Amino acid sequence: MDFDAVADELYALRPEEFTAARSSAVAAARTAGDRELAERIGALRKPSLAAWASNLLVRSRPGDVEPLLRLGEGLRHAHRALDRTQLRELNRQQHALIRALSAQVRQLAAEAGHPIGEGVQREVETTLHAVLADPEAAQAWASGRLTKPLSAAVGFPAVAESVVTESAGTQRRPSAATAPSRPDRKADEQRRRRLAQARRDAEAADRELRALKDEAAAAGRAAQEATQQVDRLQRRVGELTEELARAREEHQQARFAERSARERARTADRRVREADRNAATAAAQLERLTSSDGR
């Protein structure tokens, strides 16, 4: 009995199934004589609805995990380099990706029988923002074992401020006391490399997002076609069911008619035999009378 396998199984369940399944796993570990494992399993916490929905996204859409993680790395690199142009572009991609993933979470939760409201969806989006800002949060999210929504303890305050200020046309210049010193060529080259990598990561995330949207659209069309096919087959099943009912009724009537005909045939055959015996008796009597008259 493996702890990771048990944990993965528990956090893949619906919230209302978690507690009973955990108790069962604890009992199984104790029966196997592994008290340490039983204690570790018993310490696993039931996920909140927002945490369950976040785990559901990771487990149901594993292809969406890597693009978000890469975008988070790119944002953190760009934040350290303080490239406002790149930060604005990555910020735009961040909002687009989080909106798409948030919509997927809502759809997956509804399909799993737990529609989520606006409050829970905001907690899911906060978790996704935390994944972008904090590597530890990203690792926890990617494990698919969250017990509560994450918060962006490490955010991008300087990024948000610089982007908003510049977009409003009031770029803030650093004062002479706080202005950074001119970097040397080596540091500048390192910064350019980081920015280039961040751009590549962001572009790759954008491509994957478009591909996922295309895949989702194709899956939607396939689901619609499958639904139409199910409807057609359901109607055909109804038609065949009616035909079968009529055939059974006709078969029952035919069997009744057959039994009636056989009974009439048996009655007629019996009457024929009786008539034949009567005729034979009458013929014998006639022959005796004829013989008596001749004498």
**What is the full DSSP assignment across 193-250?**
HHHHHHHHHHHHHHHHHHHHHHHHHHHHHHHHHHHHHHHHHHHHHHHHHHHHHHHHHH
Q: What is the predicted pLDDT for the residue at 177?
A: 35
Question: What is the rounded (10 degree) CA torsion for 65, 69, 72, 73?
Answer: -160
**pLDDT > 90: percent of the chain:** 31
- pLDDT of residue 183 exceeding 80, the answer is no
20-24, 164-168, 192-196, 198-202: which has the highest mean pLDDT? 20-24
Return the higher-pLDDT residue of 237 and 46.
46
Work out the pLDDT band at 71, boundaries 50, 70, 90. Answer: confident
Q: Give the tens place of pLDDT for each residue, 281-291.
A: 988 888 888 88
Alpha-carbon distances of 156 from 67, 72, 84, 88, 116, rounded to whole Å: 19, 11, 12, 12, 28
Work out the pLDDT band at 191, boundaries 50, 70, 90. Answer: low
Mean pLDDT in residue range 118-123? 92
- pLDDT of residue 82 exceeding 80, the answer is no
pTM comes to 0.50
How far apart are alpha carbons 108 and 285 in whole angstroms? 100
- pLDDT of residue 169 exceeding 60, the answer is no
- For 275, counting Cβ atoms within 10 Å of its Cβ (0-12 exposed, 13-18 middle, 19+ buried), the class is exposed
- pLDDT of residue 55 exceeding 80, the answer is yes
Average pLDDT, the chain: 78
- Cβ proximity of 211 and 97 under 8 Å: no
Question: What DSSP character marks residue 89?
Answer: H
SS3 call for 172: coil
Return the higher-pLDDT residue of 152 and 15.
15
Q: What is the predicted pLDDT for the residue at 251?
A: 86
What are the residues whose beta carbons fall under 8 Å from the beta carbon of 194, sequence distance 6 or more? Answer: 77, 78, 80, 81
How far apart are alpha carbons 124 and 134 in whole angstroms? 15
Closest CA relative to residue 163, chosen from 92, 222, 107:
92
The radius of gyration of the chain from alpha carbons, rounded to an integer in Å, stands at: 41
